[in-house]
Amino acid sequence: MAVKSKISQLLLRLGEKTLQLADVFKSSFLSVGTVALFAADGARETFTRGFEFKEFGYQCYKVGVKTLPLITVTGAIMGLVLTIQSRPVLINFGAVSMLPGMVTVSLLREMGPVITALICAGKVGSGMGAELGSMRVTEQIDAMEVSSTNQMRFLVVPSVLAATLMLPILVLYADLWGILGSWIGTNIKGDVTFALFFSQAFGIVEFIDFMPAFIKTFFFGAVIGLVGTYQGYSAGRGTESVGIAANKAVVVASLWVIVVDVIAVQITDMMTS
């Protein structure tokens, strides 16, 4: 009897775990479908009349100009640290002259786009989620709906397009400061002119090192804008929903940036092999 009782309890727990797992998969599929419909509505409103150019310009200012100080510091430190960490290894192999080129390729291909996108996911994504979440809590979005204002066209489309177009520019800006930081790191224990460093840095850079990485930054920006606006737009009614929306925007956007990066790397690898 004791054995049968233990088996019954085990089967009961197994059934509960199975139901919980099924609920997780169900909610995940529903979330993906909801986001897909949200993105489809935004894409449709992008190509309709009455585009909000003024709001788009303001969002570009928020996403681009207001993020420049953070990107400046991040890019410079990124290049500086990468140079300092890589120098001893290259010295052991007698290839210290390859340091500028190695750092530049690393920045252009992976470090610059991904680190900048993750920084923007934290700053821009959370800002969008908190802003739209607070508008949802204070019923401003409901008021826009009552007054026959197209919320998607005014709130979502300009933010997503601004993130999509500004992130590539921010990545190029971060790459520039990363190269300057690398030059500073090279001169900490050496004496290399900027002209010589520039020649060594871009002497081995090829088209395939820059263009695929630059193209994927558009997708990074679109993901950050879409996730940030969706989390804020679909926030709950309580005041704590603003913090939840901002937190979800950062976590989900960062995760999708990594997923998109993995897919882009695989596509690039297939193109070059």
The pLDDT tens digits of the residues spanning 19-35 come to: 554 544 444 445 566 76
Burial letters for 161-200: b for 16+ Cβ neighbours within 10 Å, e otherwise? bbbbbbbbbbbbbbbbbbbbbbbebbeeeeeeeeeebeeb
| Domain assignment present for 154 | yes
Average pLDDT, the chain: 83
In angstroms, the CA 88 to CA 110 distance is 21
| Domain assignment present for 96 | yes
Confidence of residue 165 (pLDDT cuts 50, 70, 90): very high
Is the pLDDT reported for residue 173 higher than 90? yes
When divided into structural domains, the chain yields a total of 1
Cα 135 to chain centroid distance, Å, stands at 23
| Domain assignment present for 38 | no
Is the pLDDT reported for residue 188 higher than 50? yes
CA dihedral (92, 93, 96, 101) in degrees, to 10, reads: -130
| Domain assignment present for 45 | no
Q: Which residues have a Cβ under 8 Å from the Cβ of 213 and sit 6 or more positions away? A: 108, 109, 110, 112, 113, 264
Q: If you count them, how many residues does the chain have?
A: 273
| Domain assignment present for 6 | no
| Domain assignment present for 10 | no
Domain of 131, in residue numbers: 61-272
| Domain assignment present for 56 | no
**So what's the pLDDT on residue 166?**
94
Q: Which residues have a Cβ under 8 Å from the Cβ of 52 and sit 6 or more positions away? A: 153, 154, 157, 158
In angstroms, the CA 214 to CA 194 distance is 24
| Domain assignment present for 40 | no
* pLDDT, tens digit (0-9, with 9 covering 90-100), for 50-77: 788 888 899 999 999 999 999 999 999 9
Q: What is the pTM of this model?
A: 0.84
